[in-house]
Amino acid sequence: MAADWLGSLVSINCGETLGVYQGKVSSVDQDSQTISLRQPFHNGMKCPVPEVTFSAMDIKELKILEIPGGGAPAGQTDSGSTAHNGRSTKGPDSTPSSAPMAVPRKGSSSSRGNNQATPKKNGMKNGGGLKNKDDECFGDPLDEVLDTDFDFEGNLALFDKAAVFSEIETSVKRSGARSRGTPSERTPARYRHDENILEAEPIVYRQIMVPQSGGKEYCTDAGLVVPSISYELHKKLLCVAERHGLTLERRLEMAGVCASQMALTLLGGPNRLTPKNVHQRPTVALLCGPHVRGAQGISCGRHLANHEVHVILFLPNFVKMLESITNELTLFSKTGGKQVSSVKDLPDSPVDLVINCLDCHENAFLRDQAWYRAAVDWANRNRAPVLSIDPPVSTQEQAVDAKWSLCLGLPLPLAENAGRVYLCDIGIPRHIFQEVGINYHSPFGCKFSIPLHST
């Protein structure tokens, strides 16, 4: 009868989707072809419900693990204890039982859980002296263990932190003394979180040596010393560079790129220049004179205009222009930037940035001309910050007070009103510095423009 199977421990395989269930048979209904398990486990995990009912259509394979009063059936295999339709499941004494079991067929379970990993099959043989693994997984003592809370405070009180660390330090000292071959015990070195434990060569902060000091020294953010040089040595350096192929056009392009990169950063960088902010394009007023410094400014303005900056270029009219200025103006005209020759055409309202390229290293008489004084007056009245590109060395105060000044290659000893000094790399190779007597190591690292600090 079906009642004979009550209390038996069985394993029901419902396929890959539903998984494997184990538990004790609580009821068998032959009319509805169902079987119920109490205290069920699903894929080795205890189910949250006290009882699960299966239909014959749910079951693919059924194994009898233990019969009340007997134990696990003998010769336990995948098919030796599996119930079949119209056949009895064999008990431990190999005598047929009188109650037929339901037919395993495909279907869906009346109680579903998470599809977890199927536990390994029991490989224990009946009659062995070892404890049954199923008892360890599904026995009642497991419930008692789960109901007991772990005493974290009591377990932590058993750990003597001071004694453990003392033992570790003693062990380190002994091993260190043995490795060094010295009888004395030496305390291991202790490092801060920001110190490098790997030994390295000491940093040489003075890596640039000049034959004649320009009278002023700067240093980078990393502490490297960058000495200034005189204008005569700077001019000699550029002449040697041009003789080796670093022509004026190449230097103008490098100076324009570095200056425009710095100007874009000063204008706000990615916070200002985005496709969603085209209605608020920054405006830059570019003041240039008829010399190489002016050509550098025009090159900078061309790159700014290519980056959607509204550039207004001021350059006075002259009968004869330098070839470098003529070439730069031709390129600038292709960008859509605005060029004016009168200060009256400059904006009345403040602009975002003023780039000053009015001064010249060699021609100080430009300051006496009317266009120069008018441009200086406009720059001083306009409340925009000023960036000076390659400002000259002068014993007099600069006509336009700058917030930033950008030097090329190596800095010149600038006046105090030059603002914060930056240095840009214009691509002069190291051996060209050595040819003019400068022992040079690049201070730029991964950048082309770096800030300098007065020492």
Burial group, residue 62, by CB count within 10 angstroms (0-12, 13-18, 19+) = buried
Residue 67: the pLDDT is 82
Tell me how far apart the terminal alpha carbons of the chain are, to the nearest angstrom. 102
- In the chain, the amino acid numbered 9 is L
DSSP 357: E
* pLDDT, mean of residues 426-452: 94
Please give the helix or strand (H or E) that residue 193 lies within, else none. none
Output the CA–CA distances (angstroms, integers) from residue 99 to 5, 21, 124, 415, in the order listed. 7, 21, 26, 108
Residue 121: the pLDDT is 43
Instruction: Using the predicted structure, report yes or no on whether residue 80 has a pLDDT greater than 90.
Output: no
Q: How far apart are CA 398 and CA 381, in angstroms?
A: 15
For the stretch 137-143, contacts whose Cβ atoms lie closer than 8 Å and that sit 24 or more positions apart, written own/partner, are 137/22, 137/41, 137/44, 138/9, 138/22, 138/23, 138/39, 138/41, 142/46
Average pLDDT of the chain, as a whole number: 80
Q: How confident is the model at residue 392 (pLDDT cuts 50, 70, 90)?
A: confident
* pLDDT, mean of residues 296-300: 97
Nearest to residue 60, comparing CAs of 5, 4, 108? 108
Q: How confident is the model at residue 220 (pLDDT cuts 50, 70, 90)?
A: very high
Instruction: Using the predicted structure, report yes or no on whether residue 196 has a pLDDT greater than 60.
Output: yes
Name which residue leads in pLDDT, 322 or 4: 322
Instruction: Using the predicted structure, report yes or no on whether residue 194 has a pLDDT greater than 80.
Output: no
Q: What region, left, alpha or beta, does residue 437 occupy, with left being phi > 0 and alpha being psi -120 to 50 degrees?
A: left
Residue 57: the pLDDT is 86
Q: Which two tokens stand for residue 216?
A: 């002023």
Residue 306: the pLDDT is 94
Pairing state between β 45-46 and 217-219: unpaired
Residue 188: the pLDDT is 59
Residue 325: the pLDDT is 94
Would the pTM count as exceeding 0.75? no
Sign of torsion over alpha carbons 78, 79, 81, 86? positive
